[in-house]
Structure 1
């Protein structure tokens, strides 16, 4: 597995995302292949924590340790109810943290997940 990094940005300015997109477009226009970027963004910490809960972080860690597996096996590994694990896996798939392989097994394709939290700008009175 290649060393892919998922970047979770919390409270980032939209301009930074647009800058990344512009740089990729410029590289493409020069015939260059831009480096892949894997990222998701959240407006605030509460929103991020509603997706990446403690139990979901445990699922990601178990997948990292055990490699591709079925949801049923993952539920056994983490000693949780299948239905709850299934729901958590579905949610993490929506946010790109878990994928399915050709055999239908789930895995996390990332060697790292970096959470970058930007504090809100101080508003002048």
Structure 2
């Protein structure tokens, strides 16, 4: 069985992710093996909703399956307007979920992850303010 590359998505301040990164650094300094992790911390649920919109998920799956050579080809694969797909891909690139390889004028979208795991805490968000 091949290892799957996961993107872990969290909503919040990133404190947990920074704490885990420090622990991983200490483990590496002790020459311990550490799991390769990719974590994306989103500011709020609105960003999570944008990432996981049906249009974006369809696009991410199509890129993984069909490996289009350009944004235009990606738009053709999902049978959507190029401008809309361009906007979605630019948004996904800003979130570091999609990368582009440039070949001449074409920008080839690449998704390096096989799956996305979402972690959402049901605790009240830490806003830094005292409760009312």
Provide TM-score, normalisation by structure 1.
Answer: 0.80
Trace 1:1-125 onto structure 2 (pairs within 5 A). 3-11=4-12, 14-32=14-32, 34-101=34-101, 103=103, 104-121=107-124
CA contact (8 A) 1:8 1:113 kept: yes
Question: Aligned-pair distance for 1:3?
Answer: 2.5
- Structure 1 gaps, min length 5: none
- Distance, in Å, in 2 between the alignment partners of 1:92 and 1:7 is 15
CA contact (8 A) 2:9 2:119 kept: yes
Change in CA separation of 1:87 and 1:124 when aligned onto 2, cut-off 3 Å = closer
Question: Aligned-pair distance for 1:5?
Answer: 0.6
- Distance, in Å, in 1 between the alignment partners of 2:78 and 2:122 is 34
Higher relative contact order, structure no. (Cα contacts within 8 Å, ≥ 6 residues apart): 1
Change in CA separation of 1:98 and 1:2 when aligned onto 2, cut-off 3 Å = farther
- Distance, in Å, in 2 between the alignment partners of 1:28 and 1:78 is 42
- Distance, in Å, in 1 between the alignment partners of 2:30 and 2:49 is 39
